[in-house]
Amino acid sequence: MAQDTGRPSGTHQDGNRLAGPLSEILRAEPTTAWWRCPDCGRSGPLAELHVYGPEPGLTARCPACSRVALRMVPEEGHLWLSLGGATGAFRFRTA
């Protein structure tokens, strides 16, 4: 986590990376949230999701089968969040 972008392609971070942006809209701690993949059945804490980004947005995927778990785009004064892989997102006001 003590790093910058500028990493090689196709690599990822993990769900720990989502703690900051999600703290803008969630009152509960996000990284320990339990999650289960509807495709392959893998389960675990949000911290273990594979996270791609941060630009142009953050995409969190199942560590086993890569199914999209959430997408998030911070924008000035707002945070866009889509849970699951389907179209449909929430825009939260953060400022």
Partner 1 sequence: MAAHWFGARLVERRAQTATGRTLVLDIPGWPGHLPGQHVDVRLTADDGYQAVRSYSLAAPTDGERVELGVQAVRDGEVSPYLADVLPTGARVELRGPLGQWFVWRTGQSGPVLLVAGGSGVVPVTAMLRAHRAARSDSAFSLLYSVRDPDEIWYREELAAPDDRLDVRVLYTRRAPRGEVRPPGRIAAADLGPAQAGPGTVYVCGPTGFVESVADLLVGLGRPAADIRTERFG
Partner 2 sequence: MTSFSPGFHGRPRALADRLPPGQYPTESFPVLSAGPTPRVPTETWTFTVTTETGATRSWTWDEMMALPQQETVHDIHCVTRWSKFDTHWRGVPLTAFLDDVETAADHVVAEAHGGYTTNLPLEDVLDGRAWVAHTYDGYPLSPEHGGPARLLVPHLYFWKSAKWVSGLRLTVEDEPGFWESVGYHNYGDPWREQRNWGD
Give the residues lining the site for partner 2 (CB under 8 A): 8-12, 52-53, 55-57, 59, 61, 66, 68, 71-73, 75, 78, 80-82, 85, 87-89, 91
Q: Give the contact letters, 24-63, x = binds to partner 1 (CB under 8 A), - = no.
A: --xxxx-xx------------xxxx-----x---------
Residue 34: CA atoms inside 13 Å, Cβ hemisphere, count?
2
Is the bond into 21 cis (omega within 30 degrees of 0)? no
- Token look-up 């809209």 returns 25
| Centroid of chain to Cα 40 | 18
Interacting residue ranges for partner 1, rule: CB under 8 A: 1-7, 11-17, 19-21, 23, 26-29, 31-32, 45-48, 54, 74, 76
